[in-house]
Structure 1
């Protein structure tokens, strides 16, 4: 795969929003990139503008200045090039598990018969066989997030944008979701950009970690994580990386 052709780059991105008195500066000259097959995390304090970066990438909003490039092509408006999984599962309460899993792909006019067959296969793969006709209210938080993840995968996009998808889960469920996501990334050869404020989460997954400052966010540092996978939070090198990130966030 030509990494230059499909590389996503944010170049000198600045963004602010109107307020009652003036404007709120959110992003200040953000530069970052991700190449095909990479797993990259954006780590920063709460409300520093991380989700704004994703909204810019998918074209929901436009930057005040700077450019977003996919390869050499500027992104202007909604392109449909990315599969975006948000913090909340956003399952529709009146639709069953299988219906929720296929809803986004249905909107893109994918063939329903093939879509449901693929969804059934994937739901079984992630441990939800037998729950296809259940409704969201009947599912645990972890099960709901699994459905949301399958819904994202069924869009069949090369790049996944994950906005703190596991932050509301308990520790045990979150650990199982970590294993599932790592398996998907490795076996499906996806490109993943993850937003998180959890240092260990960033280190467990990432090839690189961008560290953002408080708002207006700038890139404080870019850390290359040279650890073999699977990774352990008790590993001495892992702990050293964790301290490095803590020191950077604390400065």
Structure 2
């Protein structure tokens, strides 16, 4: 029986510096070895070259935190998928709740970014998630299904090449975490939606992205449809990140 892929991706967000990055990467690579799952670090754009050089030949893949929906042109401040390819980027986060909230990204924008990444051979990590108000209104599944549907419709048969990350907005950076049962329920709904796009899509990883850390990772990752994590704060501490990778293995 085919096994679903597993992935642990660190999202450094707007953190880091040349010295801090070097120390963090040294710690991660010293303990990473040959992990049983995919492992990636999604780093701020100014540090792509530094991280590319440091992770070369290792099991740590390089990821970006965003990608433009456009290939080139008069889009000041944007970074295209083609530019990311120059740095060996394997993954790009699209639709993170912070991009949706602070930069006004719509479902259509997220779908366009996912397609732009795929067209250059970069795997988009498509983020979906509900706010606390939406959860309390019992709209969780409706919200995440709408967000994912926009991407699946845009991608068509390319949908089998994406990674999905469920990140309840109310659990990001707050210290609050969905219970394993709450997270599993949403992951199961997302899995069923992916299955409608085809058997290959259903085999893609669905990551949990709501304050997963070294203490709660094993319990979350034991759930049937949680295939890894999109890790925020814990990815900035080598020991914590490695503990999560070990739990995913």
Normalising to structure 2: TM-score of the pair?
Answer: 0.35
Structure with the bigger percentage of strand: 1
| More relative contact order, 1 or 2 (CA 8 Å, 6+ apart) | 1
